[in-house]
Amino acid sequence: MTSVRYLLRALRVPALAAILALALVACGEDEPVVQAQPGSEPPVEVLYNSALDDLVAQDYEVAAAGFDTVERQYPYSVWATKAQLMAIFAYYMTNEYDLAIGAAERFIRLHPGSKEAPYAHYMIAISHYEQIADVNRDQGRTREALAKLEEVIRRYPRSSYAQDAQAKLALTQDHLAGKQMAVGRYYLERGHYVAAINRFQNVVEEYQTTSHTPEALHRLVESYLSLGVTDEAQAVAAVLGHNYARSPWYRDSYALLQGQDLEPEAREGSWISRVWNSIF
């Protein structure tokens, strides 16, 4: 049997180390292999270990088929449960993300109270995460990834899966904010200022911790000035200057205001003051 250490080095997903180590230990590296009799089905441990060897050899498609065979031929054995878990990972590694999601969802239905349920939930989340599309395309997968990552964090906050999900969550939020920015810029360039404002406000309200917030605030200043709503432009610029004084977006906003003999000015009654105060 190939060593645990070799398999863990091959992993692309750090949080899966524990589950795969358990799978290898469970199969018993020192256990004798039972030889199949002529004309009979191979023993379940032979099928499982063969699929595991394929997985370690990074022949993931063959491994997935092998684990499916274990479950199909020995559905009521403990090996079938282990094979279900390993098949999820094998499908993931072949980029068959929908199959990985389906296998993980099936495992959760069959074993809702299993100690390996966190792993299954995590695999659903990162399988959606791996399918995040370009910001110029529909973001349905991104929203699904966001929801599933948040579910892992909520359900298993002290697990290593939650730690990895938290790291991926930030990028997912940044991606969704980027989509809102792209649409907002499209409207702004065409003079649809109210529609643009709605998009930029959404970034500030929903994704304020992302890298897009300074630009969103500047674009709001630009949009409000284009509509002649100078008080809101000044209020947004004040927030931008207070929080991102060194940002080039603040310098651009300040220049726009100066061009109309205006200065950044905080206004307690503005929507940006209410939103920013509620956030921070």
- Within a domain: 195: yes
Residue 272 forms part of a structural domain:
yes
Q: Considering the domain boundaries, does residue 224 fall inside one?
A: yes
Please state the rounded mean pLDDT for residues 27-35: 42
On whether residue 214 sits in a domain, the answer given is yes
Quote the pLDDT of residue 269: 78
Between 101 and 280, where is the model more confident? 101
261 inside domain: yes
Tell me, what DSSP letter sits at residue 266? -
Q: Where in the sequence is the domain holding 235, given as residue range(s)?
A: 191-280
Distance, CA of 274 to chain centre: 30
Judge whether 235 lies within some domain: yes
| Number of structural domains the chain divides into | 1
202 within domain boundaries: yes
Complete DSSP assignment for 116-133: THHHHHHHHHHHHHTTPP
> Which residues have CB under 8 Å from 9's CB, separation 6+?
none
Q: In 3D, which of 84, 66, 87 has the Cα closest to residue 75?
A: 84
In a domain, 101, yes or no: no
**Confidence band, pLDDT 50/70/90 cuts, at residue 209:** confident
Rg (CA), the chain: 26
- pLDDT at residue 242 tops 80: yes
On average, the pLDDT of the chain sits at 84
